[in-house]
Structure 1
Amino acid sequence: MKKINVYVEKAEDGTYWGSTQNIPGGVSAFGNSLDELKQNLKVAFEDYIEVAEDLNEEWLDEIKGLTEFEYRLDIASFFKLLPIKISAIAEKSGINPSLMRQYASGKANASEERAKRIEKAIHELGEDLLSVSI
């Protein structure tokens, strides 16, 4: 099933903002935490569907069954969002820690290939963490 892509950013004031990327029109929401953003986005999406039904929008059938959201972040937003040690991701992805700090701060932009390496390292780290029991 197709997922609704949501681009997430963390503002300087700590607010999380999310907006859909792959549906007609768009849905946006914000929250003081990522969980609050997700809850608010779900409510905003339900309102979006309700208005589309009222207006008898042609595209409604394409998105009506969609219920799963996939949250996407740029590298700098990811590191603002989660307190993960930048050097651990740099080591796992084979990227110089200094360069990784520049990506994390937003001072440099990673190429698509490099961003995929970072994403792969983050997913591997997540799998490693999921395999641990305490």
Structure 2
Amino acid sequence: MRRKKEIIMTVEKTDTGFSAFSNDYPIFTTGENVPELMNNAFEAAELYFEDEDIKLGHEDIKFEIDFQQFFQFYRVLNAKYLAQKIGMNATLLSQYVQGHKKPSEKQTEKILKGIHDIGQELSGINLLHKVRK
């Protein structure tokens, strides 16, 4: 069994959830939410490569979404806060988010690292709640 190279799936927000497609292979799928989309994409890729006896792992599929759609969907992430967190000019990040400018690869990596860092911070927080008597 052979291993396949990385498959890039472009993610887009739709009226009913999400869609993803590959520019390199005729692989496409949809899902109501991101986890469902990712599972469906893996199944679609496995199905496509089934006859070639190629073994895929979840790590072989990478998902990409453009800045505008990312910040449109994840409105909970404040771009001004993110810019401050990563040491970037808030106006510049806003231009990336609105699609007026395209970030360089280095800037994209910096932004993605900031998003991942915020995600790590949030995943380590437990919310307390008090039951009123």
Q: What's the TM-score, normalizing by structure 2?
A: 0.72
Whether contact under 8 Å (1:75, 1:115) holds in the other structure is no
* Cα-Cα RMSD: 2.6
Deviation per CA, 1:72-100: give whole Å up to 9, x if none.
22222221231211111111121221221
Aligned-pair identity (%):
30
Deviation per CA, 1:96-130: give whole Å up to 9, x if none.
21221221122221111111111111111111112
Greater mean deviation of Cα atoms: 96-105 or 64-73: 64-73
- Structure 1 pair 130–32 and aligned structure 2 pair: CA distance change class (3 A): closer
In structure 1, the partner of 2:116 is 123
Task: Give the Cα separation in 2 of the matches to 1:66 and 1:38.
Answer: 12
Q: What's the TM-score, normalizing by structure 1?
A: 0.72
Whether contact under 8 Å (1:93, 1:117) holds in the other structure is yes
- Structure 1 pair 126–99 and aligned structure 2 pair: CA distance change class (3 A): same
Q: Structure 2 unaligned runs (5+)?
A: 128-133
Task: Give the Cα separation in 1 of the matches to 2:64 and 2:12.
Answer: 9
Whether contact under 8 Å (2:12, 2:19) holds in the other structure is yes
In structure 2, the partner of 1:7 is 10
Whether contact under 8 Å (1:27, 1:48) holds in the other structure is yes
Task: Give the Cα separation in 1 of the matches to 2:87 and 2:118.
Answer: 13
Whether contact under 8 Å (2:46, 2:56) holds in the other structure is no
**Aligned-residue offset at 1:31:** 3.0
The one-letter amino acid paired with 2:125 is: V
In structure 2, the partner of 1:65 is 56
